[in-house]
Amino acid sequence: MAEIVALGCGLVGEYVISKLIDDGHDLTVIGLEIPEKLQGKCITKITDALEFVKKIEGCPLIINMLPGQIGNSVREILLNKKLDVVDLAFTIEDPRKYDNLAKNNNCKLVYDVGIAPGYSNLLIAKAIEEIGDLETCKIRVGGIPSKPDDNWSYMAPFSPSDVIEEYERPARIIDNFEYVEVPAISDLHTIDYENIVNEGTISLQAFMTDGLRSLLDYGSCKNMSEYTLRWPGHIEKFVEIQKLGLLKGDKRAETISKLITEWKYIREKPEFTILDVITENNTTKKRWIVFDNGSEKASSMARTTGLVTLGFIDEMLEGNIPDGVFAPEELHKIKGLTNRITKKLTDEGVKITELL
């Protein structure tokens, strides 16, 4: 079995680590907080990840599951140490700038290995392979409580500070073949989903966010955009906070601290994750809906994100990934990779429906 070092142990990290331990791998887990249930099942070190990475020795596989900016800070160090990396840290920085470094050091890094970006990228690559150049591509994704409430109707399944950054950062999209930036949380609209959570229809709001990343440079698509899904009223509440200036200057830190508390993830509360990918050209339309409502052991976001991460870990350990830095869609052409990761999801009960 492989020697693996996991950096970070949040909700998704805990799930990934537990599954790897169950598979018999030797895990060293690094984090400022590590769940008690992992104690004794692996080596745990409660310490600063950046300081640990600077001193790391040997040649383990690294799983980077740190929050955004911290996750970005370790990439160059790891590649300079000639280590292979499966990277889940979501940051505005483009890891592809380290491609030559990875190739020169005969190592590899695969990034954005979550549900979206991640699995969504593989579906876009699959659509382009099957139907050719795209006229339109829309990705919608969200992880939310099963029922709305009178407050935010939201729990943050990953770093709340990353969620806030997502709501504030301009969204990069493709409009008529042109790369453009539009304000975050623009193009707010409602979309209905039938028979998703229960029988009947639920109405969710979608708004633009900056999730396309590497897809902006992939294939040929006239119009491409990515949206976050939330219960109605959630994003209007956030916009009101912005208008009041509570995310500026001296008030920002206090407001973020308050949001972190109000968005705290409650494990016992029913929730679900949905990914909706629509692709079409002048002759053909393909659509996938991925849905999961979690299990007794893990949240839906931990499962959907973590299973994709685990799929790429398998590909790395099997030696299927060449040297260099890669986004998921760039690896779609590896024979069977997308099918294997799809099976990883469906074998665990994640529902994937393809609509033609």
What is the per-residue pLDDT across 319-346, written as a single tens digit (0 to 9) for each? 999 999 999 999 999 999 999 999 999 9
* Residue 356 scores a pLDDT above 80: no
User: Of 212, 189, 192, whose CA–CA distance to 202 is shortest?
Assistant: 192
Position 91: which residue type? T
Distance (Å, whole) CA 129 – CA 147: 37
Of 42-51, 84-93, 191-200, least confident by mean pLDDT is 191-200
pLDDT score, position 199? 63
* pLDDT over 70 (residue 197): no
DSSP SS3 for 16: helix
Integer Cα distance of 209 and 114 in angstroms:
16
pLDDT for the residue numbered 220: 84
Task: Please report the pLDDT score of residue 92 as a whole number.
Answer: 82
Reduced 3-state DSSP string for 117-152: CEHHHHHHHHHHHHHCCEEEEEEEEEEEECCCCCCC
| Whether pLDDT at 37 is above 90 | no
Whether residue 196 is predicted with pLDDT greater than 80 in this model: the reply is no
Check residue 225 and give its pLDDT.
97
DSSP string, 157-203: SS-HHHHHHHHHSPEEEEETTEEEEE-TT-S-EEEEEESSSSSSEEE
**Residues 290, 41: Cα–Cα separation, whole Å:** 32
| E strand residue ranges, the chain | 3-7, 26-31, 43-46, 61-64, 85-87, 108-111, 134-145, 171-175, 178-182, 189-194, 201-208, 221-230, 271-280, 285-292, 324-326, 351-355
Q: What is the separation, in whole angstroms, between the first and last Cα of the chain?
A: 41
CB 26 within 8 A of CB 63: no
CA dist 257 and 245 (Å) reads 15
- Single pTM value for the model: 0.94
pLDDT given for residue 137 in this prediction: 96
pLDDT at site 198: 64
Distance CA(294)–CA(299), nearest Å, equals 5
- The pLDDT value recorded for residue 113 is 97
Domains of the chain, start order: 3-115+303-348 (3.40.50.720), 119-297 (3.30.360.10)
pLDDT of residue 187: 96
